[in-house]
């Protein structure tokens, strides 16, 4: 395990302020009614927690997890669902909550399978986006921060399962 402390890219205050903005924006787009948040594990768990605490009105949550299919493949575009949702999406206003959109392949896959479940609406909120890495044009309705092509950790995001507990977004030296 590395002992190097990642350098700060986005600090706690910036995260909190931007997430409060996103929460307001999402709520303004659906002034009444229940929003159903689908958190993509594991990386988005802190983002979900802070996003829904910054939000007014009725909210429900559910969790799913997926992983790239095949050992060591980052470009196959095949994604496997490793944990499915507990409840259906029919007629619901669903917001996918993701930590980061990189190539876009994971999110594209998730949007396709969730749309097939008949939600009334489906939107996506991502804390971070690296547009220069995109391999597929995927729609992201709410983006916290657009960043350059650097590997980031902290605030839920990991490198080899480490650093998820950092309270800020950092970069490894
Ligand atoms: P995509 O399918 O290439 O868009 O990959 C998205 C997933 O890769 C994210 O949900 C993260 O789990 C992971 N990922 C991509 N970039 C980073 C990074 O900079 N730090 C940590 N995880 C990342
Ligand atoms: Mg992820």
Atom of ligand 1 minimally distant from the CA of 68: 2
For 75-85, write each residue's pLDDT tens digit.
566 788 999 99
Statement: the pTM of the whole predicted model exceeds 0.85? yes
Determine the distance separating the centroid of ligand 1 and the alpha carbon of 117, expressed in angstroms.
25
Catalytic-labelled residue, pool 11, 102, 149, 158: 102
How is residue 58 written in tokens? 């009725």
Q: Which CATH number fits domain 7-63+85-171: 3.60.150.10, 3.40.50.2020, 3.90.1150.30, 3.40.50.620?
A: 3.40.50.2020
Determine whether 102 is an active site residue. Answer: yes
Residue whose CA lies nearest to ligand 1 atom number 11: 100
The DSSP line for 65-110 is: EEEESSTT-SSS--EEEEE--SS--TT-EEEEEEEEESSSHHHHHH
Confidence of residue 73 (pLDDT cuts 50, 70, 90): very low
């Amino acid at each position: 395990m590395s002992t190097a402390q990642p350098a700060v890219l986005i600090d706690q205050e910036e995260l909190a302020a931007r997430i409060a903005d996103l929460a307001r924006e999402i709520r303004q787009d659906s002034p009444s009614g229940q929003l159903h948040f689908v958190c993509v594990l594991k990386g988005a768990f802190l983002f979900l927690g802070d996003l829904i605490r910054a939000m007014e009105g009725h909210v429900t949550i559910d969790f799913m997890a997926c992983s790239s299919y095949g050992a060591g493949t980052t470009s196959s575009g095949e994604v496997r669902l490793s944990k499915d949702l507990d409840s259906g999406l029919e007629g619901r206003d669903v917001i996918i909550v993701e930590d980061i959109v990189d190539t876009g392949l994971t999110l594209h896959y998730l949007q396709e399978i969730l749309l097939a479940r008949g939600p009334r609406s489906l939107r996506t909120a991502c804390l971070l986006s690296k547009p220069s890495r995109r391999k597929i044009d995927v729609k992201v309705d709410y983006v916290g921060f657009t960043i350059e092509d650097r590997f980031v950790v902290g605030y839920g995001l990991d490198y080899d399962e480490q650093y998820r507990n950092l309270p800020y977004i950092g970069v490894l030296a």
